[in-house]
Amino acid sequence: MKRMTPFMILLLLPFSLSVAEDGAKSLASTLEVYVFPAEGQAADQQSKDEAECYSWAERNTGSDPFQLQKQDEAVTAQAEQQVAQTEAATQGSGAKAAVKGAAAGALIGEVTGGDAGDSAAIGAAAGVVAGRRRGRAANQQAQQQAKQAEETSHQATAEQVDNFKKAFGVCLEAKDYMVKF
C-alpha cells in the first residue's frame, strides 16, 4: 500500500469537506453523516444524490429525521410542562393539610373533652408535615414519570434516526460514495 504524501492529502482535502463551496452545510453533514465521493463526483452531483437518497430513505423507513427532531423537542417541552403543572398543583399542600389537620384536631379535642384549641394546633402542625411530605412525594413521582417518558421517547427517536441514516448510507454507497456516521 502506498503512503499518502502531503501533496496527495492536499489534493483530496476539497473532496472530504462536507460543506458546500458557498459555505452552506450539505444535507449529509446536517445529519452528521460523512460522505466521500469515491468516484470523484462533483459537489452538485453529490448534492443531487444526497437529496435522492434522503427521499428514498424517508420512504423506506417511514421517518424524516428533521420531523423526528421537532417531535423530540415537543416531548421535552411537554415533560417540562408536566413537572411545572405538578409543582403548581402540589404547592400549598402543607397549608391545605394544616386546615384539615386543625379541623380534625379540634374535633378530637371536643370529643375527648380536651382543649379544642390545643388539639387544633397539634392537628395543624401534623397536617403541615404530612401535607408537605405528600406534596414532595407527588412532585418526585411526577418528575420521575415525565423523565422516564422523555427518555423512552428520546431512545425511540434515536433508533429511528439511526435506521434512517443506515438507509441513507446504503443508498449513497450504491451511488459510489463512501459513507460513515
Tens digits of residue pLDDT in 101-113: 555 555 555 556 6
For the chain, the structural domain boundaries read 6-63+170-180, 71-164
Tens digits of residue pLDDT in 4-42: 433 333 333 333 334 444 557 889 999 999 999 999 999
Predicted local distance difference test score (pLDDT) of residue 49: 97
Residue 64 C-alpha from the chain's centroid: 16
Mean pLDDT by 10 residues, the chain (181 residues): 39 40 77 95 96 97 94 87 74 58 56 62 62 73 81 92 97 97 88
pTM: 0.63
Predicted local distance difference test score (pLDDT) of residue 1: 39
Q: In the chain, what is the greatest distance between 2 CA atoms, to the nearest angstrom?
A: 101
76 DSSP β-pair partners: none
